Structure 1
């Protein structure tokens, strides 16, 4: 089998994963490369002054504690000293009662250069032209200038020692997503819109082919593996898996055929010595002859059961229209003539099949009802395009744990192993094989009405 690398599941999964990684990365990097960098967030000292006076602000978080914050002690940079002096002037406190720390100095060029630990470079951004410093005379008030709402500062945390000795701390609240963050979320959403359909299409393609193959394997029987379900575009692994299942089916079919041939050969070969024993039993004494005949009859029933089971595993093709109601009525009449208590309630029902094989099925079920119960009811109904034949008896039923084993060859609920009380355990196995060859199925259940055997066959529309 010629292998095409792009048709293997490995290659397709690898390509899909690669696409799911490359597409979002390419889209994200493209947007980031073409977009301007986000501006750093800024605040104004006037906001802090208003929050201190009103003790509330939607933009700042206020906390009060009896102990100073961790940054209260220690030297500050030039930028922080300027901000602190302007804030202290604005709230009317001493410069020593206000300490300020910038939360992200590296974003604003405020990190001191090497060798200059206190040389923080003050950065004031977004200053309107009307407020820019052109000349600083003796009357120029730097603190008032920095408190202008239009002058933007880097975000900072301010700690203010009040007159009662407590410390009020002000810091920016968590802000809603910025335009830059929303842009990143948009990139993520677009990536999902591109990748999810691609991943869904790939997964659907692979699982569909595997699901078709699973359905075919589930429908395997001893005679037919069914038509191929692999399509030209399916992966090579799926095609190889189907070929492996077909080979397995052929091997299983050969083994089943050999087993059945052995059973039939043994059963046929037993008929000759049984006939010889029956003839010779005529020469034995009268008091022993009845025992010989009884044992021979038992062996013949065993042989007949084995042959019936073997024939059911190799059903005959074809068949004709069977009037199921008439067929069952004839068999019930024979059972009543033998003294059995059987009641028939039947709707008209036509099915396609082998009348002889179906007679064997119904006769087996009636024999079981006679063996384990006193009264039985046979019902024939039509429902949903199917014909349902039910045999209900008033016997003790079957333990729920054993119902699933009723159709196993040589399995018997009755443990004595006596052929007179329970047969040889091939009756229901033969029934199941015949019903399945007619495209039907067999069900067992315990109910208030009694133990029920239900046969469902495709109905033939009259």
Structure 2
């Protein structure tokens, strides 16, 4: 009886393994596509899996539409703020000097923020490209003597055009509010 059970197990185990792999293959394909940020492949496998793949595609489409709408709204608000800011800057010319300088600085900062928002809106849909992070930070730090860049690995990431501006803003804030600082580039795990 034990011999018959052992023989049956030896014969059936590979068949069960092959059947299980074949059954779970569409799930693995779907998981890989999601991890890679791709749309799920053409529907295959059980009906539930096909419905899940369709729901993922619909969700991504809806999120992309909402993101575009938010970007349009942000751009419209930034454009609308330019006119009253220009008017405010003209009125500042008549303010007495001790207060005028601070008010002009505030207005200039607001104008720079609006320009940053409009730049972001222009580059948000820009194509992503590979960027050597350490080299980019070294270029920014070269123009900021209060900042230093620690030794570390070179890390390459695929990003849009806004990374340099983000690093410049962080460096500017570190200098303005902390008097400077140190930057380190590190790699964690297999993701960059």
Q: Which has the higher contact order (CA 8 A, sep 6+)?
A: 2
Q: Identify the residue that residue 4 of structure 2 maps to in structure 1.
A: 187
CA apart distance, 1:309: 4.8
Question: What SS does structure 2 have at the residue aligned with 1:342?
Answer: strand
In the alignment of these two chains, the number of paired residues is 189
> How far apart in 1 are the matches of 2:152 and 2:162?
20
Q: Identify the residue that residue 140 of structure 2 maps to in structure 1.
A: 331
Q: Identify the residue that residue 29 of structure 2 maps to in structure 1.
A: 212
Greater helix share, structure number: 2
Q: Identify the residue that residue 300 of structure 1 maps to in structure 2.
A: 111
TM-score normalised over the length of structure 2? 0.72
Q: Identify the residue that residue 316 of structure 1 maps to in structure 2.
A: 126
> How far apart in 2 are the matches of 1:186 and 1:346?
61
> Which of residues 343, 347, 367 is equivalent to 2:172?
367
Unmatched 5+ residue regions in structure 2?
none
Q: Deviations along 1:350-406, whole A, 9 cap, x unmatched?
A: 98877x64432432342344334644255xxxxxxxxxxx28xxxxxxxxxxxxxxx
Question: What SS does structure 2 have at the residue aligned with 1:376?
Answer: strand
> How far apart in 2 are the matches of 1:292 and 1:258?
33
Q: Deviations along 1:114-148, whole A, 9 cap, x unmatched?
A: xxxxxxxxxxxxxxxxxxxxxxxxxxxxxxxxxxx
CA apart distance, 1:254: 0.7
Residue correspondence of structure 1 range 110-189 to structure 2 within 5 A: 184-189=1-6
Larger radius of gyration: 1
TM-score normalised over the length of structure 1? 0.34
> How far apart in 2 are the matches of 1:214 and 1:300?
45
CA apart distance, 1:328: 4.3
Q: Deviations along 1:243-274, whole A, 9 cap, x unmatched?
A: 22111110111111111211121112111211
CA apart distance, 1:197: 2.9
> How far apart in 1 are the matches of 2:24 and 2:155?
41
Is the counterpart of residue 237 in structure 1 residue 48 in structure 2? yes
Q: Deviations along 1:82-139, whole A, 9 cap, x unmatched?
A: xxxxxxxxxxxxxxxxxxxxxxxxxxxxxxxxxxxxxxxxxxxxxxxxxxxxxxxxxx
Question: What SS does structure 2 have at the residue aligned with 1:335?
Answer: coil
Aligned pair in 2 of structure 1 residues 322, 198: CA closer, same or farther (>3 Å)? closer
- Report the aligned-residue RMSD: 3.8
Question: What SS does structure 1 have at the residue aligned with 2:144?
Answer: helix
Aligned pair in 2 of structure 1 residues 374, 277: CA closer, same or farther (>3 Å)? closer
> Which of residues 257, 266, 278 is equivalent to 2:68?
257
> How far apart in 2 are the matches of 1:244 and 1:206?
21
Runs of 4+ in 1 over 6 A off after TM superposition: 320-324, 346-354
CA apart distance, 1:330: 3.9
Unmatched 5+ residue regions in structure 1?
1-183, 221-225, 379-389, 392-441, 444-454, 457-462
